[in-house]
Structure 1
């Protein structure tokens, strides 16, 4: 099962990498409001990946669920050290919940470009922060799964 969990973690890291390529634009600007061209770039990206890409955008949620299922199966089978499975489950599970309840709704809202520039800037920075933490968590999951081999 660790191969499926590792593949899922790797896929999710690749998705996060693409997201971060747009998110890091927020890091170069210190003012409260990001420049219009930066907001447009990030907003257009999130509109494409959260709304325009339907039904393919559902694949990410499916991979999250399948990765969790693979990790749960790994824990139940008990083939590897307990801390590998439980550590992976805690890291992934605690990462997926805020992703689905906060990051994705924020990305959809940013993608709609309906809010004032101040709010869009706040959303863009919050998404960037969430994605950096998610990247770190999923990197740890991948390392744990590779240890299990």
Structure 2
């Protein structure tokens, strides 16, 4: 295993673990259908995201650093020719999709929810959006790790 491959596993595993922690809080929305979430649920999720996105700095920047390192290691693997083309394309897509989703909307929504912006209906919609994003991202990163592990062994 090369250093770049090791970085792919370390970063991918770290990001998957972060998503697992997020989903522990996000999953509180389950069972409420489309109705507004109870205040206790919103408070729990919002408090978590306030800590995760705002008050935990500089530790919250570690997640962004892992994303950058993951992408850099993928680019290195692609340029060095160490991986077949299909593996570069599939693992690149599975890693890039969650990063793009996080950068384009999930982090922004988590900051808004953590700041308790909007009314209860808007916060409920934010919590549901964050949950959907995290399920998709968890699935992508889980598949990324399975494919990369399969390719190594």
Match of 1:67 in 2: 70
Match of 1:98 in 2: 101
Equivalent pair of 1:26/1:38 in contact (CA under 8 Å): yes
Equivalent pair of 1:46/1:110 in contact (CA under 8 Å): yes
Could you list the runs of 4 or more consecutive aligned residues of structure 1 that deviate by over 3 angstroms after TM superposition?
none
Match of 2:27 in 1: 24
C-alpha deviation, 1:130, in angstroms: 0.1
Equivalent pair of 2:97/2:137 in contact (CA under 8 Å): no
Unmatched segments (≥5 aa) in structure 2: none
| Aligned equivalent of 2:8, options 5, 10, 32 | 5
Q: Render the CA deviation track for 1:99-136: whole Å, top value 9, x for unaligned.
A: 11100000000000131000000000000000000000
| Aligned equivalent of 2:112, options 109, 114, 118 | 109
C-alpha deviation, 1:94, in angstroms: 2.1
Question: Secondary structure of the residue that 1:148 maps to in structure 2?
Answer: helix
Is 1:53 the equivalent of 2:56?
Answer: yes
Question: TM-score when scaled to structure 1?
Answer: 0.96
- 1-side partners of 2:124 and 2:10: how far apart? 33
C-alpha deviation, 1:91, in angstroms: 1.5
Equivalent pair of 1:2/1:148 in contact (CA under 8 Å): no
Instruction: Give the root-mean-square deviation of aligned CA atoms.
Output: 1.0
| Aligned equivalent of 1:78, options 76, 81, 97 | 81
Question: TM-score when scaled to structure 2?
Answer: 0.94
Is 1:140 the equivalent of 2:127?
Answer: no
Higher RCO (CA-CA < 8 Å; seq separation 6+): 1
Equivalences, count: 149
